[in-house]
Structure 1
């Protein structure tokens, strides 16, 4: 019973806020002095600040600073107050919520990435979230990755790549421990690309393994690891699908690992 009273209380507060908001908009329309109008609109912003804060809270687990999200939500609220026209819709809240949410989403799109993935992956990830929700509502169960990919008309590997792009919102500290006993940190395991001497042994071990590859296989490795092309771009370059590129890369890398293991065992025996 206490929970029901709590829900009723929140509904009552919401209705009272909406009514007071409409009254303030009506009063602002009746004023001729610009400064008085602005004071009235400022009061509307303060009255509905809790709505903006609640919307910002929905996005607080995505890696962005919570205080920044609240500020962006406030900006969206101010825009909603400035753009709302009384009598042209179902009410201020119905206009303000998508306006504030849109401002937050734009913030993530433009400023929320530490490492920004391609726009294609950003849009695919957003579409995947919407499709997953629609399929779950339709079927009454969470859809599998393959079902979501089929619903979007993309390869499952593309969907996986889009999901992995979400890590671009956050970054690990170089001091983050990588062992349970804390004896090593992430920075200790990073390769210094500027120190060519440390790569001499690796390059010499890899050279004979690379020579065993076909020209086409070496070209694929060049495109992926030297030129930094995506699997989709490589597919267009050599005339195959992205899924075929993924399989080719897996086969090539597995072969190289096996060859290096054989070379390493031979060297240790010698």
Structure 2
């Protein structure tokens, strides 16, 4: 797998260099073709949020073009680590700019924010958030919780974070069998992101999301409390996200 990823990286950089230095259209077309499956893979994760798959693919392709044009060849980074967050970032902007045009009441938006926070809190405590629990904690009806979750389909998009509710994302695919290009790319991205973690933290992440152990079980294995395991997972997610997601001052993951 690592050898395959290295070969892909070398070919990506070769094609980028040819296109950027010579304007080689054939290299550009091949590069677009190589990453189109990844664009489609990301787009499928956003289906059901008010947009058709092919429309999302077109948005993702715009992100891919921006990545091809914006990647800094002078820096020793992998193109896939720049392209992935650029593509998903374009999709997030699309939903942010267009999806809120749907008449979603302000109160519903506020409830959705509270709902996400409460789900995360319950998960950190080692529990599984249910509709009844959420309604009781938030002092709303179960119907309101369900409505908020449905509304979330419009504006709650996947990001590089550990799952706290029903959404699934690239981190949640760690160690899971998948087909074709996505398996290679997800594994490739995760391995790259996990290089910023200590051996202990990397082991904790793998036990939670590859081996599917409970936080309590992980704590017993690494001799820390369940609360410490929760903090390790939160901090690891933040570090991995920071490593992969570009910022205005640092467009490529360091």
Which TM-score bucket, shorter chain as reference?
0.3 to 0.5
Structure number with the bigger relative contact order (C-alpha 8 A, sep ≥ 6) is 2
Give TM-score scaled by structure 2 length: 0.46
Give TM-score scaled by structure 1 length: 0.43
Q: Which has the larger radius of gyration?
A: 1
